[in-house]
Amino acid sequence: MRRLTAVLVASLLALVISTGPAAAHAKLESMTPADGSSMPAPPTKVVLTFNEPVGSNGTQIQVKSPAGVNVATGAPQVLDSTVTQPVGAMIEAGRYQVEARVVSADGHPITVSASFTITHAGHAPDAPPVDPTAQPPSNSNTVTVVAMCLVMLVVVALAIVIVRRRPAR
C-alpha cells in the first residue's frame, strides 16, 4: 500500500509541476503596429504577440476606423503565441482602435485595447492580397494536455496492477 501511495503522490506531483507554467494567464508582449504609433502607410494586418501560446477558439479582433467601421477582414489566424488579423482597405487617415479578445491556454479570456494612427489613407501599393479561403493553423496545446493526462492514467494503472500482483504475506 505504501508503494501505491508513493507512486500516486509522485505522479500527481509530476503532473502539478509540469502544468505550472501553463497555469499563468497569457500577457500581450507586443503589437504590430505598436500601440500609440503613427505611420504614413496603412498596415495589411495587425499582429498580437503573447508571452505564451493562446487558443484559436473564441478569438475575436476588431480594427475600427476613425469613423467606427470595422476594417478587419476574415478570421484571425492563431499560431502558438501569435495572433494575426488581416485588415481591409483603410481609406481614412486618423486613429484606428484595436479591440481584441483572445483565450489563454488555461481558458481565461484576455482583452486587448490599443490604437495606432495613419497619416495617409489607402493601402500600400505592395500589399499582398488576403486569401479568404486560407485556413488558420491549428494550436497543439490541447494535444499536449491530453497526452500528459493519458500518460498519467497509464502510470496510475500500472501502479495498481503492480501492487495487486504482489503475493499477500
33 prior amide bond cis, ω within 30 = yes
pLDDT by residue (tens digit) across 56-90? 888 899 999 999 999 999 999 999 889 999 999 88
Q: Alpha carbon of 56 to those of 17, 36, 76, 78: distances in Å?
A: 25, 26, 8, 6
Residue 163: what are its φ and ψ, rounded to 5°? -65, -40
pLDDT by residue (tens digit) across 24-36? 578 899 999 999 9
Highest mean pLDDT pick, 7-11, 47-51, 105-109, 150-154: 47-51
How many Cβ atoms from other residues are within 10 Å of residue 87's Cβ? 23
Residue partners of 67: CB distance under 8 A and separation at least 6: 92
pLDDT by residue (tens digit) across 143-167? 677 777 788 888 888 878 887 887 7
Structural domains in the chain, sorted by start:
26-140 (2.60.40.1220)
What is the spatial distance between Cα 98 and Cα 113, in angstroms, rounded to a whole number? Answer: 6
What is the spatial distance between Cα 28 and Cα 112, in angstroms, rounded to a whole number? Answer: 8
Mean pLDDT of the chain: 81
- Cβ–Cβ < 8 Å for 159, 9: no
5 membership: H or E segment, kind and range:
helix 2-18
What is the spatial distance between Cα 58 and Cα 60, in angstroms, rounded to a whole number? Answer: 6
Predicted pLDDT of residue 123: 55
Find the distance separating the first CA and the last CA of the chain, reported in whole Å: 13
pLDDT by residue (tens digit) across 123-135? 544 445 545 555 5
Sheet holding 28-32, edge to edge: 28-32, 45-50, 82-86, 77-79
In this predicted model, which residue has the larger pLDDT, 77 or 140? 77
- Cβ–Cβ < 8 Å for 35, 114: yes
Predicted pLDDT of residue 22: 46
The three three-digit cell numbers of residue 63, written as one number = 480594427
Report whether pLDDT(46) > 80: yes
